[in-house]
Structure formats: structure tokens, C-alpha cells
Structure 1
């Protein structure tokens, strides 16, 4: 029966290499200490022979032995210096491998989160659809029930599009994490969002043109190809004239891949002449209604 050894991971390989090189260094250091001791003793013996007036033959033999011992000590010192450099390089490679292992584990967790969201989405969609059917199944037309069903359907559409976008963003983050260039802000606390005006109902959409509108004394400006929470009072008008579209629209998914997830208000805004004034469009529409 054949047995196969498990392939070592990069971290395990570098750990084994580091352990081997440290053992080799310890052995070289011990041999160098012995060589230096022998060299010191041989130098003392050669010195004594010279002081005692030994014959030339004895002195030559002593000097040759001293040179041999000295050369051996020099060789061991060079080998020890080389193994020290190898240990430093191996420690650096081991640290990089450990960092990559941590990034891989984090990326796996992020991808698992995206997968769990995708698996949960059909259940949510089916539940919301069943709820809408239950509300609208009766023959009687009740305004409150119809309004509730419309709200549920709108929430369902918004959640599905947001889930698709979130899963795409999570997988992008996982890919950047594996490559070692993930945005550190992923793990940072979320930035405080701008306070909303509570009485304004909004819907998250994607802009196709630069837009502006007014909320009290504030003028809101948003560039093209950006996600924005548009007041619902302006939503139908903006959708009709194709200035915005829902996040789950096919063309919006393509545009988000081309332009990213979208700039935020205040980034790379065009000049004022290029903005489409939604308030002016709404006023013009109302004027036509009044005339009619």
C-alpha cells in the first residue's frame, strides 16, 4: 500500500528551513569556537618557540600549522556570516508567508460571507413574494393592503439589488486581500453618515446624468454614475426621463463595473450648466398638469 506525504505549506517549508539553518549555525559556531581556541594555543606555542630560539625547521613547522589553523578559523567565520544572512532572508520569507496565510484566511472568510448572503437571498425573495401574494390574493381592493404590498415589493427589489452589489463588493475585497492590496478601511469602523432629514422618504438608485435638487435651504448635487438616495417625490420623474435607474437594472450593473461603485456627492462634480434640475422638471410637469 502506497503512502503519500502531505505537501507542506509555504509557512511549514520556511519554518523547517529556518530550523535547519539555525541548527547549522549552532554547529558552525561550536566548530568556530574550537578552531579559535586551537589557533590561540598554536599562536602561543609558536611564540614560545621563537622566544626560546628554536631551530628554523621547528619554526617553519609551527608557522605552517598556525597558518592552517588560522585559515580554518577564517573559513568557519565566513561560513557563519553566510548562514546568518541566509537566516535573515529565511525569517523575512517566513514573515511574508505568514502574512499571506492570514490574508488568505481573511479572504476565505469574506468569500464565505458573500456565499452565505447569496444562499439566503432566494429565501428572502420567496418570502417577500409570498407575502405580496397573500396580501393581494383577495378579491376585495383595500387601499391599505395595496399600499402595504407595494411597499413590500419595493423593499424586496431594493434588498435584492443591494445584496447583489454587496456580494460583488465583498468578492472584490477578497481578491484584493489575497493580492495584499486590500483597502484597510474594510476593517475600520464605518464613517459617520450625513444626518438625513427624517420627513423625506428616499430610494437608493443610480444616476445616469448629473442631478441637482433642493431640500430646504440646501442644494444637493450628485455626479453621473453614482449611487444616491433620491427623495421619492422626485423618483418617478427621474425614472421617466431616464436620469436614474434601479441598482438591479442590467445596465446599472454594467456601469458599476465600468465606473466602480460610484462617486459620492461632491467628488468630481461637473460645472453647474451640466446639472439637470429635478425641481425645475417637476415644476414644469406640474405646470402642464395645471394647464391641462
Structure 2
């Protein structure tokens, strides 16, 4: 006897499913044998009736009723086993779903943290870039564009990163709550959902040129 039993719920459920399936095979085999016995006893009862063997007929009918009763009991047991297997499979699917959702939420949280870390690094680089482009503008006017870009990054990127991180964590909460898909979409799936830009509206109406003829 094992001193320690498995505490893994998934393994326990799978063990119960395997045991239930084995039991189903055993009961199914007994039911098949019982159905064959019903057929044999029914044939024997008919033969005894045709031959006038009353004693044999009584024995055959008694065996027939016993086999039929046993078949009913076995079919009932088989239905109960099937219900148990269905319940166990449902429990297994729920466990797998909860595990996947937990892993997905953890992956989203890691992404939010990495985004925050990289955002800080980006902000530091943008500050250094702004410092140098600011000094370069009086010397080279063309540095003004990149200097303005660095200023925009310093003012917009931190807020954008914070917003995205907040939305990521909200999505992780929804995954755990079961209101969002358990799996993360692939990057190519997300890009496929972005609608293509609409063609520019033609504000002008073009009419064919009608030739004019001068009448002399």
C-alpha cells in the first residue's frame, strides 16, 4: 500500500476516468453474454413448446426471465457508468480550462511587467536623445524634427504604456473570470482583425468631354 497518495487533481480525475472506462468494458461484456443467453433461452423455450416438453419449457422460461432481468439490471448499471464518465470528463475539462486560464493570466501579467520595464528604458533613451537634439538644433536646423519627436515620446509614451498595462491586467482578470477567451490570440490573428483602410472618397465628379462643332 502506498504511503502517499497523489494530490494532483488532474491525475486523480484521470485515474477515476480510466477505472470507470474499465468498469464499463466489464459490464458491457457481461451484458453481451447476457443478451446471448436470452437468445439461447428463448430458442430453447420455443423448441420445448413445439415438442410439448412442459418441464423443459418451464425451465427454459425461468432461465429466460432471469436472463432478461439481469440484462435490464446490467443496462441500468451501464447507463449509470456512462453518466459518471460524462461527469468526470466534464470535471477534467473544467480543470484543464482553469489551468489554461491561470497560465494565460500569468503570461499577460508578465507581458505587462515587461512592457513597463521596457517603457522605462525607452523613456530614459528618449530623455538622452532629447538632451542631445536640443543642443543640436541651434547648430543644425534639421535636428528640430527629431528633437520634437523625442519630446512627443517623453510626453506620450509613458501614459500610453501605463494605459496598455492597465488594459492588459484587466484582460487577465477577465480571462480568470471566464468572460474572455482562455487562450491568447496569435499576433497574426490580431493583425488579421484590423480592418483595411477605406479608399479615399472621391469628392469630384468627372464628366466626359463633349466635342463642339462650329457651324460655318
Query: Which residue of 1 is the match for residue 33 of structure 2?
Result: 34
**Alpha-carbon offset, residue 15 of structure 1:** 3.5
Alignment of 1:166-181 (within 5 A): 166-181=164-179
* 3-state SS in 2 of match to 1:113: helix
* 3-state SS in 1 of match to 2:65: helix
User: Residues 203-251 of structure 1, C-alpha deviation per residue, up to 9 Å, x if partnerless?
Assistant: xxxxxxxxxxxxxx9xxxxxxxxxxxxxxxxxxxxxxxxxxxxxxxxxx
2:194 counterpart of 1:191? yes
Q: Is the 8 A contact 2:105 2:173 kept in 1?
A: yes
Q: Aligned partners of 1:118 and 1:95: how far apart in 2?
A: 35
The alignment's TM-score, normalised by the length of structure 1, stands at 0.52
* 3-state SS in 2 of match to 1:46: helix
**Alpha-carbon offset, residue 70 of structure 1:** 1.8
**Alpha-carbon offset, residue 94 of structure 1:** 3.7
**Alpha-carbon offset, residue 47 of structure 1:** 3.5
* 3-state SS in 1 of match to 2:71: helix
Q: Aligned partners of 2:70 and 2:145: how far apart in 1?
A: 94
Question: What is the CA RMSD across the aligned residues, in angstroms?
Answer: 3.7
Q: Which moved more, 1:23-32 or 1:124-133?
A: 124-133
Unaligned runs of 5+ in 1: 196-216, 218-292
Unaligned runs of 5+ in 2: 204-216
Alignment of 1:4-23 (within 5 A): 7-10=7-10, 12-23=11-22
* 3-state SS in 2 of match to 1:164: helix
Query: Which residue of 1 is the match for residue 213 of structure 2?
Result: none
**Count of aligned pairs:** 191
Q: Aligned partners of 1:66 and 1:190: how far apart in 2?
A: 66
The alignment's TM-score, normalised by the length of structure 2, stands at 0.67
**Alpha-carbon offset, residue 31 of structure 1:** 0.5
Structure (1/2) with the larger helix percentage? 2
Candidates 62, 65, 90, aligned match of 1:64: 62
**Alpha-carbon offset, residue 29 of structure 1:** 0.7
Structure (1/2) with the larger strand percentage? 1
* 3-state SS in 2 of match to 1:182: coil
Q: Which moved more, 1:61-70 or 1:117-126?
A: 61-70
Alignment of 1:1-292 (within 5 A): 7-10=7-10, 12-54=11-53, 59-134=57-132, 142=138, 144=141, 149=147, 151-182=149-180, 187-188=189-190, 189-192=192-195
**Alpha-carbon offset, residue 129 of structure 1:** 2.7
Query: Which residue of 1 is the match for residue 212 of structure 2?
Result: none
Q: Is the 8 A contact 2:119 2:161 kept in 1?
A: yes
Q: Is the 8 A contact 2:6 2:12 kept in 1?
A: no
